[in-house]
Chain A
Amino acid sequence: MLSRIAESLFWIGRYVERADDTARLLDVHLQILLEDPWAEEDLACRSLLSVMDRRLPAQGAAIGRVEVLDLLAYDRFSPSSIAGALVSARENARRAREVISTELWESLNATWNQLPSHMRPARPHDYFTWVRERAAVVAGVVDATASRDDTWAFMVLGRSIERADMTARLLTTRALAGSGGPGWTTLLRSCGAHEAFLRTYRGAASDERAAGFLLLDRLFPRSIVFALNQAEACLAALEPVADRAIVDDARRHIGLVRTNLEYRPLIDVLDALPREMEQVQRACAAASDAVRGRYFPSALTTTWVGENL
């Protein structure tokens, strides 16, 4: 497969997952601001923006849900906002059009076409629901129609790395905002994990168990360890004949941070949650770079010059 195509596939996986996760995160964030009369809106929004790698406005200027939505949900030009991620996913699909199935292309293209009509609804919840639904359609189409070859491996690799990264960011919001931040229930809900969690522990929900569920659960597909395991499996599928002594860079980054979470007492991890989560994010970024270096070397940098008509 062409490196360029592989790169597009990898990023389709990442962008769609990013839109999905950001929608989940914002949905719960807004719901909490509405339902909890004692939530500190400014602090909660600041910590969210900081975790999502956005520049914070000066201390004096209060920020609220409107600003957060503008930056993280409706910005079409930043690939780390929901709208931007969906636009970018479609762009990447165009580049890999001949490899991906028509169904997948059409679902991404339809998403892009419908985007303007879904932006800025009266109830942001409707937008998030729509985004989650579209992401589910894309994931379902991939699942149902992609052959389990490299096409699949690159897409799922992108998705898993993104998922681990976003879940880590989500957990950081909890640690940063302290008492003003979302509770564990909220975090579980935003990962779609609340009901699965309740069923697992039958309502005997303690903070520690909730954290453990999102960090370490081996069966729940949105937990960090699950996502990292899946990323490793994809990397292994991409390069089955491993060198006897040396591990591929990307696998090393991911495996290291996974074992670091898995084989340490949970309480240690929780004590330094922001730092641990930063490590997960850095490992994901490093793995992503390593994948790029290994599979998508771009020797020539093409620059395009706009025509001034």
Chain B
Amino acid sequence: MADLFDDYPAGVAWDEMLDPATGPRAAYKHVHAALAQLSAGELRARADALARTYLTQGVTFDFAGEERPFPLDVVPRVLAGDEWEHVAPGVAQRVRALEAFLADVYGPQRVVADGVLPRSVVVSSTNYCRAARGITPPNGVRVHVSGIDLIRDSLGGWRVLEDNVRVPSGVSYVLSNRRAMAQTFPELFAALRIRPVSDYPRRLLAALTAAAPAGVDDPTVVVLTPGVYNSAYFEHSLLARTMGVELVEGRDLFCAQGRVWMRTTQGRRRVDVIYRRVDDDFLDPVTFRADSLLGSPGLMTCARNGTVTIANAVGNGVADDKLVYTYVPDLIRYYLGEEPILANVDTWRLEEPGSLEEVLDRLDELVVKPVDGSGGKGLVVGPAATRAELDALRSRLVEDPRGWIAQPVVQLSTVPTLVEDGLRPRHTDLRPFAVNDGDDVWVLPGGLTRVALPEGRLVVNSSQGGGSKDTWVLGGAPPRREPATAAVHHPVPVGNAVPIDANPQDIRAHVMQQQQTLDGPVRASSSDQEVVTC
């Protein structure tokens, strides 16, 4: 029988759903079977339904002045339970190591003294923030939320592409993707045991509350947004809404008497924890950029005084500097005494002797990235670049070797994705989100799968024409239910329900209708009702 996958081409990269030789892989068996049943038209109809939901919900991004629904693909990405049991601890391990690194680098700097990391790497990082030295977070957490970008290479193995410990975004898409997919593919949700993601806001709030300054009971948590014109504003409002906290802008806050307050109709109210979605540079015009209107003057002083917690902490950028990234496996061994569970992608440090020459020589086959960029900014893919671009890049590398790293082109794994011609392999990555509450690093099951929609493209960022997929982690143990409620389990009573009333006049009308439909079931009910009410 012809199905949607008949003309699915075998790509160069490792495909997560289909093995060219043996067909669908175990985790995707159900999804593949369900999709193969659909006709192309039905699949399109479901894709349209998804897009419509997003327009209604306002899950859109600004594209050249027009609001477009955030592209969510109809084909989910599926991870087997045991696979996730490998990934999640790997992510948690990395977060713990980065947490220890940040505490060290803004404190005693043992890592430098012990020769694991050269001092030059730390102090030359543009995101190493001297203003953050000496600020000790109340429960020792600096990376409250992190997103670790993972990829699968051509052999199906997981590797870390980059760490995001400043203001990782995208978790709102995980939550809203799940909701939209559950409404669009109810039959798949019924058949598969997909681990729920709806716990995230509660976990985040718990972690933020735990990070409150000592001695504050019932802390006030706020989400600080740059404002409605920010591209991630949807996410900020969703998080504030689902956590039930205020969403504030910089102008809603002010500092007085060594504390941070917000202006409310009831007068000022103290703020204890700020989950900020504003970059370091804009947070406090006194300490950082003086022209910033997004922050609040004096914020850093309050943080230093310990009267307010800023989450994620200021200065975290040094940990996701791409040159520090190359040292993370060493940091894991150094701080945790463990072997890294997830490997890095091989990377050239251009300042090391000989490597700049090698990279310059092979520039057309490598990926070159700026160390402080995020969102795919400034990244150059050698094989896809023009000669002029490569020449310009070459001179920039020679000028500033500290500012760049080079990596071989990794063939990201592919997942079938609905594009104009039908289902086609498209490259994907995965950003699992981790929440650290001080006792435990919790990794949200799944995460954001981003997919590069143009054919062959390896950059998946949504600012660069990327879409997303819902990520399903299968199986796992059922959550522990409180035994208290199980104990008072009432049987379903039969026959003592309170009847639902109806207007007696209607009941008569219904009897009439039923009588008449018995006589002629084909007759339209409207004509019956005319008889009744005339």
Chain A residues positioned under 8 Å from B494 (CB to CB):
50, 56
* Chain A 161-192 interface 0/1 with B at a Cβ cutoff of 8 Å (1 = within): 00001000100000111110000000000000
* Chain A 189-214 interface 0/1 with B at a Cβ cutoff of 8 Å (1 = within): 00000010111111111000000000
A294-309, CB < 8 A from B? 298, 303-304, 306-308
| Contact among B190, B221, B485, B490 with A202 in the assembled complex (CB-CB below 8 Å) | B221
Spot the interface stretch: B63-71, B376-384, B448-456, B500-508.
B500-508
Q: With A35-B198, A282-B498 in contact, do A306 and B492 touch (Cβ < 8 Å)?
A: no
Q: With A34-B189, A179-B485 in contact, do A56 and B492 touch (Cβ < 8 Å)?
A: yes
Spot the interface stretch: A74-82, A238-246, A261-269.
A74-82
- At the interface, yes or no: A88 with Cβ under 8 Å from chain B? yes
B23-79, CB < 8 A from A? 45-46, 49
In the complex, the answer to whether A198 meets B489 with C-beta atoms within 8 Å is no
Q: With A35-B178, A282-B498 in contact, do A47 and B194 touch (Cβ < 8 Å)?
A: no
Chain A residues positioned under 8 Å from B498 (CB to CB):
53, 165, 169, 278, 281-282, 285
| Contact among B196, B507, B531 with A36 in the assembled complex (CB-CB below 8 Å) | B196
Q: Across the interface, name the chain A residue whose C-beta is closest to B208.
A: A203
- At the interface, yes or no: B245 with Cβ under 8 Å from chain A? yes
Chain B residues positioned under 8 Å from A199 (CB to CB):
244
In the complex, the answer to whether B244 meets A52 with C-beta atoms within 8 Å is no
- At the interface, yes or no: B241 with Cβ under 8 Å from chain A? yes
- At the interface, yes or no: A92 with Cβ under 8 Å from chain B? yes
| Contact among A47, A178, A200 with B488 in the assembled complex (CB-CB below 8 Å) | A178
In the complex, the answer to whether B492 meets A43 with C-beta atoms within 8 Å is yes
Determine how close the nearest CB of chain B comes to the CB of A47; give it in whole angstroms: 5
- At the interface, yes or no: B205 with Cβ under 8 Å from chain A? yes
Q: Across the interface, name the chain A residue whose C-beta is closest to B512.
A: A304
In the complex, the answer to whether B492 meets A50 with C-beta atoms within 8 Å is yes
Q: Across the interface, name the chain A residue whose C-beta is closest to B528.
A: A306
Tell me the complex Cα distance, A79–B242, Å. Answer: 36
Determine how close the nearest CB of chain B comes to the CB of A41; give it in whole angstroms: 8
B503-534, CB < 8 A from A? 503-510, 512-516, 519, 525, 529, 531-533
- At the interface, yes or no: A123 with Cβ under 8 Å from chain B? yes
| Contact among B221, B478, B514 with A38 in the assembled complex (CB-CB below 8 Å) | B478
In the complex, the answer to whether A37 meets B506 with C-beta atoms within 8 Å is no
Tell me the complex Cα distance, A80–B525, Å. Answer: 18
| A30, A47, A165, A198 interface centre (most CB from chain B within 10 Å) | A198
Chain A residues positioned under 8 Å from B482 (CB to CB):
179
Q: With A35-B189, A303-B508, A307-B531 in contact, do A79 and B503 touch (Cβ < 8 Å)?
A: yes
| Contact among B486, B493, B510 with A179 in the assembled complex (CB-CB below 8 Å) | B486
Q: Across the interface, name the chain B residue whose C-beta is closest to A185.
A: B198
Tell me the complex Cα distance, A204–B494, Å. Answer: 37
Tell me the complex Cα distance, A143–B509, Å. Answer: 29
- At the interface, yes or no: A11 with Cβ under 8 Å from chain B? yes
Chain B residues positioned under 8 Å from A95 (CB to CB):
505, 533
Determine how close the nearest CB of chain B comes to the CB of A63; give it in whole angstroms: 11
Tell me the complex Cα distance, A37–B515, Å. Answer: 44
Determine how close the nearest CB of chain B comes to the CB of A219; give it in whole angstroms: 15
Chain A residues positioned under 8 Å from B115 (CB to CB):
none
Interface of B is mostly: helix
| Contact among A38, A79, A198, A298 with B243 in the assembled complex (CB-CB below 8 Å) | A198
In the complex, the answer to whether A288 meets B186 with C-beta atoms within 8 Å is no
In the complex, the answer to whether A274 meets B512 with C-beta atoms within 8 Å is no
Tell me the complex Cα distance, A285–B508, Å. Answer: 19
Chain A residues positioned under 8 Å from B529 (CB to CB):
91
Q: With A281-B498, A285-B499 in contact, do A298 and B504 touch (Cβ < 8 Å)?
A: yes
Q: Across the interface, name the chain B residue whose C-beta is closest to A38.
A: B478
- At the interface, yes or no: B182 with Cβ under 8 Å from chain A? yes
Chain A residues positioned under 8 Å from B184 (CB to CB):
123
In the complex, the answer to whether B525 meets A76 with C-beta atoms within 8 Å is yes
Tell me the complex Cα distance, A7–B481, Å. Answer: 47
| Contact among A169, A202, A298 with B245 in the assembled complex (CB-CB below 8 Å) | A202
- At the interface, yes or no: A1 with Cβ under 8 Å from chain B? no
- At the interface, yes or no: B183 with Cβ under 8 Å from chain A? yes
Band of interface residues on B: 35 or more
Tell me the complex Cα distance, A33–B194, Å. Answer: 12
Chain B residues positioned under 8 Å from A50 (CB to CB):
492-494, 497
Q: With A56-B494, A198-B241, A281-B498 in contact, do A88 and B198 touch (Cβ < 8 Å)?
A: no
Tell me the complex Cα distance, A199–B189, Å. Answer: 31
In the complex, the answer to whether B195 meets A37 with C-beta atoms within 8 Å is yes
Chain B residues positioned under 8 Å from A51 (CB to CB):
497
In the complex, the answer to whether B241 meets A195 with C-beta atoms within 8 Å is yes
In the complex, the answer to whether A31 meets B182 with C-beta atoms within 8 Å is yes
Chain A residues positioned under 8 Å from B245 (CB to CB):
202-203
Chain A residues positioned under 8 Å from B182 (CB to CB):
31, 34-35
In the complex, the answer to whether B493 meets A34 with C-beta atoms within 8 Å is no
Chain A residues positioned under 8 Å from B492 (CB to CB):
43, 46-47, 50, 56, 176-177
- At the interface, yes or no: A118 with Cβ under 8 Å from chain B? no
Tell me the complex Cα distance, A288–B500, Å. Answer: 11
| A30, A46, A197, A203 interface centre (most CB from chain B within 10 Å) | A203
In the complex, the answer to whether A79 meets B502 with C-beta atoms within 8 Å is yes
Tell me the complex Cα distance, A255–B242, Å. Answer: 35
- At the interface, yes or no: B251 with Cβ under 8 Å from chain A? no
| A34, A38, A43, A91 interface centre (most CB from chain B within 10 Å) | A34
- At the interface, yes or no: A122 with Cβ under 8 Å from chain B? yes
Determine how close the nearest CB of chain A comes to the CB of B265; give it in whole angstroms: 14
Chain B residues positioned under 8 Å from A252 (CB to CB):
none
- At the interface, yes or no: A94 with Cβ under 8 Å from chain B? yes
In the complex, the answer to whether B510 meets A77 with C-beta atoms within 8 Å is yes
- At the interface, yes or no: A125 with Cβ under 8 Å from chain B? yes
Q: Across the interface, name the chain B residue whose C-beta is closest to A41.
A: B190
B179-234, CB < 8 A from A? 179, 182-184, 186, 189-190, 192-196, 198, 201-202, 205, 218, 220-221
Q: With A179-B482, A179-B486 in contact, do A306 and B506 touch (Cβ < 8 Å)?
A: no
* Chain A 1-20 interface 0/1 with B at a Cβ cutoff of 8 Å (1 = within): 00010011001001000100
Determine how close the nearest CB of chain B comes to the CB of A213; give it in whole angstroms: 12
| Contact among B45, B196, B516, B532 with A35 in the assembled complex (CB-CB below 8 Å) | B196
- At the interface, yes or no: B479 with Cβ under 8 Å from chain A? yes
Tell me the complex Cα distance, A294–B117, Å. Answer: 86
Tell me the complex Cα distance, A80–B179, Å. Answer: 28
In the complex, the answer to whether B190 meets A201 with C-beta atoms within 8 Å is no
Chain B residues positioned under 8 Å from A169 (CB to CB):
498
Chain A residues positioned under 8 Å from B500 (CB to CB):
18, 52-53, 79-80, 165
Determine how close the nearest CB of chain A comes to the CB of B177; give it in whole angstroms: 12
Q: Across the interface, name the chain A residue whose C-beta is closest to B197.
A: A35
Q: With A91-B529, A278-B498 in contact, do A176 and B493 touch (Cβ < 8 Å)?
A: yes
In the complex, the answer to whether A37 meets B502 with C-beta atoms within 8 Å is no
Tell me the complex Cα distance, A123–B243, Å. Answer: 28
In the complex, the answer to whether A11 meets B489 with C-beta atoms within 8 Å is no
Chain B residues positioned under 8 Å from A288 (CB to CB):
501
Contacts A/B (CB < 8 Å), 14 sampled: A35-B196, A38-B478, A46-B492, A53-B498, A91-B509, A91-B529, A95-B533, A122-B45, A123-B183, A179-B481, A203-B201, A203-B202, A307-B531, A308-B519
Query: Can you list the 3 inter-chain pairs with the closest CB atoms, starting with the nearest?
Result: A198-B244, A37-B193, A178-B489
9 A-B pairs besides A38-B193, A91-B529 with CB distance below 8 A are: A8-B503, A11-B503, A31-B183, A53-B497, A77-B514, A203-B202, A203-B221, A203-B245, A282-B498
Binding site for A on B (CB under 8 A): 45-46, 49, 178-179, 182-184, 186, 189-190, 192-196, 198, 201-202, 205, 218, 220-221, 241-245, 478-479, 481-482, 485-486, 488-490, 492-494, 497-510, 512-516, 519, 525, 529, 531-533
